[in-house]
Amino acid sequence: MNLRSKKSNVLLCVTGGIAAYKAPHIVRGFVQLGWDVRVILTESAEAFVSPMVLATLSKNRVWVEKDFLSVEGGSQIPHISLAEWADVVIVAPCSADTASRLAIGGGGRLMDSAVLATKAPVVVFPAMNVNMLYHPATRENLDRLVALGYTVVDPDSGDLACGYEGQGRLPDREVILEEAKRALSVKDMDGLSVVVTAGPTREFMDPVRFISNPSSGKMGYALARTAWYRGADVELITGPVNLTPPHGVKVSPVISAQEMLDSAVSAMGGCDIMVKAAAVGDYRFSSVSEKKIKRKGLDVMEVSLINNPDIAATLGSVKRPDQTLVGFAAETDNLTLNATEKLKSKGLDMIVANDLTEEGSGFGSNTNRVIMLGVEGVLREMAGDKEIVADGIWDQVLELRGKS
């Protein structure tokens, strides 16, 4: 089981840079995830953010530089006990000075010693003036951190507090939380290239009217996020939804079934696993008006629809033996029978059947109840939050691939 799905211990190391003022917001984010947060402030970080605020928000004592060699904790050596306690260490913001200290394995401060002593994954978020960031010394130090096995997350670009414009901003809190979750995940999908389709398609009749379905994209986005947490290289082909694009994932937006087909076909050649969680419109209008169609006082309006291409079946016909193709079946009746029929007719390796008539299953909900079926029958059943179900789907896909 992945640590990220339970309460985790995060050690947040805040160093001296203007972005340290965002530390309380980051602490709140981890607390809202239900994680336990402890904070170390370097001496210069104390100039930017108050230990009192961080202690109040984390509901834990905050460790500052004067605690480093203090005997106040009795036999407890702070940098060792914090290093052992942490499931993940986040250095945010990481100043140029701290990057240089970590790069040489320095242990002269509480924070550096805790990082040296920990066996937990370390994620570093450099944030500084763009010239400092691009100085060859900083580049070398950051490369060295990567070589040491730390994850170094590139800063964002934009207006910098120092008045410059360029790269050097601390990424949004969501990115920090996502990277922490990824750091806690077992990387059992490392080296795999995964494509997920998600959301609905839209088939337009004129510039202002279309037919679609209620897919929110939540299931497909959860699949994309969890595959990224587990180390996969992920492309998400998504119909129009109201969800934030997942961090770390290549997002390819599409509108119609034809566009989704084009994107999926071009991604198929280079991927190991394709999962079709999108709810693709089966039909489109036989003709699309360039101008808004007038009402003309008609009581009944007749339109004609034509078949859309079946994307899953198209991919099933070109799939290589080393590739795994997974479909979904959204059913209102005869769940297993109908899903098995789709599995076979579309040339899929596995199908995930969800019963649309069940509460908390299928379209729009945060949860799903699914039965995974292979050519030999039921593989596993799962219910719960869509992220938990997504993890279960990946477990099953990896098991299938292990067998093939």
The site for ligand PMT (CB under 6 A) is made up of 199, 215-219, 257, 276-280, 282, 308, 310-312, 327-330, 342, 354, 362-364
Task: Tokens for 18, please give them.
Answer: 């203007």
Nearer to ligand PMT, 131 or 345 (CB): 345
Task: Let me know: does 203 contact 282? Beta carbons within 8 Å.
Answer: no
Nearer to ligand PMT, 168 or 217 (CB): 217
Give me the least distance between CB of 326 and ligand PMT, in Å please. 8
Nearer to ligand PMT, 307 or 404 (CB): 307
Residue in the block written with tokens 């034809």: 258
CA angle 232, 154, 220 (to 5 degrees): 35
> 96-124: string of b/e by CB count within 10 Å (b at 16+)?
bbbbbbbbeeebebbbbbbbebbebbbbb
Active site residue 162: yes
Terminal Cα distance for the chain, rounded? 24
Q: Select which of 13, 94, 162, 271 is catalytic.
A: 162
Interatomic CA distance for residues 126 and 156, integer angstroms: 10
Nearer to ligand PMT, 57 or 222 (CB): 222
Nearer to ligand PMT, 118 or 256 (CB): 256
Task: Let me know: does 179 contact 258? Beta carbons within 8 Å.
Answer: no
Helical H runs in 294-376? 311-318, 335-345
Answer whether the bond into residue 253 is a cis peptide, omega within 30°.
Answer: no
Pick from 31, 22, 11: which is nearest to 115 by CA? 11
CA angle 130, 136, 141 (to 5 degrees): 95
Residues marked active site are found at 162
